[in-house]
Each structure stands twice: as structure tokens, then as C-alpha cells.
């Protein structure tokens, strides 16, 4: 199945993001706006990035009581976004409330359930009282999300084969924890694969941040990743 690239726009300021976004127009289609940029600049920044021609993945990882999460989904549904995250650990009632709100407000918005953060390993889970291995916890939360009506999940690329074996083939899988071949570790991602490995495993989207953001030539790195995924940019870089 085809796999697409999402840029994680994890930079400190919109000024730092501007030249990067200009260089990536026409190659990268999706941009992930997370808590750092959203809390700094708010909904207007989502509109700004969408106005540049990118599809926006809003990564807020909503997690609260069902009513509050449902109202939050309704609020952000008015923004030009294609994906929105929430924590599956919020439970069935919260997930169902979010899905109902999404269906009523924006039927085309893809809700993504976050299972186990890619920064967490078995030891980190155990500290929170979860004694199951990460892959077992991912499977449990993924099934809960699917039963609650969610059509997409965020998971480590290492758990993609597990979820493909357990869930409907229509479930969209988004995988952070992507590192380029030969790239050293040293950051907070613990469960990683390369772009090609994640694609072969069955991911629909891969989320890439640091390998592009820290590259000497981010646009060239993005094109290389797209080529690894079997895709070609539609047009050349826009300056």
C-alpha cells in the first residue's frame, strides 16, 4: 500500500519554520503541527500553514473527560486540518464521544488514536503501572480505539505488523519513530525503523522530524525519503 511522508514541524518559532516550509512546497504534502507550535501561535498558524498548500496534521493528543474532549474536537474541526490525535488511554467513553463529535462536525477529519508513545519502552511503561510489554499494550489500546470507531492510529513502526494482523485493513497507521539508515541514536525515540522498513511493514504515513530539520539540505533529504517510499515530488522546490 502507498506510504506518504509527514514533516514534523518541531521548530521553536514560525520564523525558523518559514524558509523550511518554502523549500518543501511541492515535495512534502503533509505537515504535523504539535503542541510546541500550536501553543505558541494558535489556530491562526494552522491556517497559515494550510494556506501555503500543505495538508495539516494537528497533533494535540487530546486526553480529558469525554465531554471536554468532544467539545475540543468540535472546536478544532473548523480549522483546515486533515488529521487530529487523541490518547487512546482516555478510554472507550472518551474515544466514542470524540468520534461522535467528529462525525457531526467534520466527517472527513481523520481521528488518530495514540497508543504508546515512541519515547516509551517497557521500563517507562512499568513506571506508570503498566506491566505489559509495549507491543501488548499497543495492541490492547489499538483494539479499543477500533471498537470505539476510530479509523486511524499512531504507533511505533515496530508494532505495524502486529496491528495489520489484528485490525481491519482500512485502519490508517501513522508511524513516528522514523530514522534514516545509518543514523545514530541519541534522542528520545526508542522504537524506530527506516522509512522503507516502515513502508514495507504496512504504514500509511511516516512522521519525520529531526532527520529533515537537522539536515544540511532539508529539501534534498525530504526528496530522498520520498524516493525511498517510491514517490516523486510533483514539482521542484519553491523558493
Question: Smallest Cα–Cα separation from 33: which of 15, 47, 19?
Answer: 47
Evaluate whether 69 touches 91 at the Cβ level (below 8 Å): no
Radius of gyration of the chain (CA): 17
Question: Smallest Cα–Cα separation from 2: which of 31, 29, 33?
Answer: 29
190 annotated active-site? no
- Where b means 16+ CB within 10 Å and e means fewer, 159-168 reads bbebbbeebe
Only one residue has cell 467528529, namely 102
A 10 A CB-CB count for 83 gives: 21
Q: HSE of 88 in the Cβ direction (CA atoms, 13 Å)?
A: 26
Classify residue 108 as exposed, middle or buried by CB count within 10 Å of its CB (0-12, 13-18, 19+). exposed
Q: Active-site residue among 61, 190, 216, 232? A: 61
- What span, in angstroms and rounded, lies between the C-alpha atoms of 163 and 141? 11
Cα 46-216-219 angle, rounded to 5 deg: 50
- What span, in angstroms and rounded, lies between the C-alpha atoms of 134 and 141? 11
- What span, in angstroms and rounded, lies between the C-alpha atoms of 43 and 72? 13
Which positions are catalytic? 61
Amino acid at each position: 500500500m502507498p506510504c506518504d511522508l509527514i514533516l514534523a514541524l518541531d521548530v521553536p518559532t514560525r520564523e525558523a519554520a518559514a524558509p523550511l516550509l518554502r523549500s518543501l512546497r511541492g515535495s512534502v504534502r503533509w505537515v504535523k503541527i504539535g503542541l510546541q507550535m500550536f501553543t505558541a501561535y494558535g489556530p491562526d498558524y494552522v491556517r497559515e500553514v494550510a494556506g501555503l498548500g500543505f495538508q495539516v496534521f494537528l497533533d494535540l493528543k487530546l486526553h480529558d473527560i469525554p465531554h471536554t474532549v468532544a467539545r475540543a474536537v468540535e472546536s478544532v474541526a473548523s480549522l483546515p486540518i486533515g488529521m487530529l490525535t487523541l490518547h487512546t488511554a482516555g478510554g472507550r467513553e472518551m474515544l466514542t464521544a470524540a468520534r461522535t463529535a467528529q462525525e457531526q462536525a467534520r466527517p472527513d477529519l481523520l481521528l488518530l488514536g495514540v497508543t504508546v508513545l515512541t519515547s516509551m519502552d517497557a521500563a517507562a511503561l512499568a513506571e506508570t503501572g503498566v506491566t505489559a510489554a509495549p507491543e501488548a499494550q499497543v495492541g490492547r489500546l489499538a483494539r479499543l480505539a477500533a471498537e470505539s470507531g476510530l479509523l486511524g492510529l499512531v504507533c511505533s513502526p515496530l508494532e505495524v505488523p502486529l496491528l495489520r494482523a489484528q485490525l481491519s485493513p482500512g485502519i490508517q497507521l501513522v508511524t513516528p519513530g522514523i530514522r534514516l539508515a545509518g543514523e545514530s541514536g541519541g534522542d528520545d525515540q526508542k522504537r524506530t525503523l527506516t522509512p522503507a522498513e516502515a513502508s514495507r511493514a504496512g504504514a500509511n504515513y511516516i512522521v519525520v522530524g529531526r532527520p529533515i530539520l537537522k539536515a544540511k539540505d532539508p529539501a534534498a533529504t525530504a526528496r530522498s525519503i520520498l524516493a525511498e517510499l517510491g514517490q516523486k515530488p510533483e514539482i521542484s522546490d519553491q523558493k
